[in-house]
Amino acid sequence: MYKIAVIPGDGTGPEVVAEGLKVLAAAGKKFGFQYQTKIFDFGGERFLKTGKTLEESDLEELKKYSAIFLGAIGHPEVKPGILETGILLKLRFSLDQYINLRPIKLYNSDFCPLKDKAPEDIDFVVVRENSEGLYKGMGEFQNKGSQDEVAIQISYNTRKGVERCIRYAFEYCRKRNKRKKLTLCGKTNVLTFAWDLWERTFHEVAKEFPDITIDYAHVDATTMWFVKNPEWFDVIVTDNMFGDIITDLGAMIQGGMGIAAGGNINPAGVSMFEPIGGSAPKYTGKNVINPLAAICAVGMMLENLGEDKAAAAIESAVIKIVGRKLKSLAAGKMGFSTGQIGDLVVDNLV
């Protein structure tokens, strides 16, 4: 019996989570796994009412769950940064979800903005470090508000943090068993402390994985290759900030935010799965947002729980309807409502 903590969150989060749960229920019935869910109301509305983001006791409670399914965090009436750091990043950090796993997979070339790229050309995974780097929140102001102001934001990289991320990426690449190629995406030519550590660690860990081909690309070049030759990639490992940036580009070449899902993974603890698109306030309550990213996040969650058949069935159903039915993956242009897309996935679960 799995215990799933559900955080619908803000904006269109609750709408896409509802469709994810619809598909989860159908998959449970079909593949014979049992689960219970509990809804947690963390998000902008609760913050506006109570001033609370996430308490220690909330985190303790969440540690009892098998997995977390998150909709979106971000509210137009709350100053940017409060909910992101107080809820989303706090969850990632406190639960030590040190990997952010973001598959970039094109399901239908019609939805790819790149010319002449087919699904077989865009099929790779970004392993983003999720607990350190520039996201650590270290730094300071000097002479704040004056003409001599200095703002310092530190990228914090520990050998242990870098090594566990890189080792995870190698293992993931081996298990994925596609091209068996791992690319380190960094900036060794300018950021000579952080990327020296990353590069040294990468080469040391690589010795344990002689079956994996290694490669390196600077982050700026990586964005170029995403557009020009995405077929070169199999698995990419990178730091928190670069991973954040390149996965938005990745989402675009796989068809947009409507389809992009990610997992915040603690291999020894509680992991959290989310559509990466955000709360999309302008589409809230209109039943037009694409729930496929949230549905794919449920698929990733089930794979992580060991329900491989159910996960594969969800992916096949998504591929089927993206290939044959939808006019577009963008909110409001799909030719179907949010709820109808959830139903289509359920109908195609075999």
CB of 10 to ligand IPM, least distance (A): 11
Which residues of the chain form contacts with ligand IPM (CB under 6 A)?
84, 88-89, 244, 276
Number of residues that bind Mn ion (CB under 5 A): 1
Q: How far is the CB of 78 from ligand IPM (least distance, A)?
A: 12
Q: How far is the CB of 265 from Mn ion (least distance, A)?
A: 16
Would you give the end-to-end CA distance of the chain in angstroms? 22
322 binds, among ligand IPM, Mn ion, none (CB under 5 to 8 A by kind): none
Least Cβ distance, residue 97 to ligand IPM (angstroms) = 11
Nearer to ligand IPM, 132 or 244 (CB): 244
Cβ neighbour number for residue 286 with a 10 Å cutoff: 14
Binding to Mn ion by residue 239, rule CB under 5 A? no
CA angle 205, 207, 211 (to 5 degrees): 110
What's the min distance (Å) between Cβ of 244 and Mn ion?
4
* Measured distance CA(147)–CA(224) in Å, rounded: 37
Contacts with Mn ion, 189-228, as mask; x by CB under 5 A: ----------------------------------------
What SS3 state is found at 130?
coil
- Give the pair of three-digit tokens for residue 162: 């870098």
Specify the residue, 10 or 244, whose C-beta has the smaller distance to Mn ion.
Answer: 244
CB nearer Mn ion, residue 245 or residue 305: 245
Task: Strands of the chain (E only): list them.
Answer: 2-9, 35-39, 67-72, 99-105, 123-129, 133-142, 150-156, 181-186, 213-218, 235-238, 261-265, 271-275
Which of 251/302 has CB closer to ligand IPM? 251
Indicate the burial class of 336 (C-beta count within 10 angstroms; 0-12, 13-18, 19 or more). middle
Percent helix / strand / coil, the chain, rounded to 5: 45, 20, 35
Q: What tokens were used for 235? A: 């698995």
- Pick 89 or 311: Cβ nearer Mn ion: 89
Q: How far is the CB of 100 from ligand IPM (least distance, A)?
A: 7
Nearer to Mn ion, 12 or 108 (CB): 12
CB of 344 to ligand IPM, least distance (A): 27
Give dist(CA 51, CA 47) in Å, integer.
4
Shorter beta-carbon distance to ligand IPM: residue 279 or 338? 279
In this chain, which residue has its C-beta nearest to ligand IPM?
84
- Min dist. Cβ of residue 238 to ligand IPM (A): 13
CA distance 165 to 265: 11
C-alpha separations of 58 from 5, 52, 63, 270, 299 in Å = 11, 11, 9, 13, 25
- Choose between 182 and 276: whose C-beta lies nearer to ligand IPM: 276
What is the residue-wise DSSP string for 284-344?
Answer: TTSS-S--HHHHHHHHHHHHHHT-HHHHHHHHHHHHHHHHHT-S-SSTT-SSS-HHHHHHH
Which of Mn ion, ligand IPM, none is residue 84 near (CB under 5 to 8 Å by kind)?
ligand IPM
Pairing outcome for strands 261-265 and 99-105: antiparallel
Judged by beta carbon distances under 5 to 8 A according to partner kind, the member of Mn ion, ligand IPM, none in contact with residue 88 is ligand IPM
Which residue in the set 15, 58, 239, 244 belongs to the binding site for Mn ion (CB under 5 A)? 244
Contact positions vs Mn ion (CB under 5 A): 244
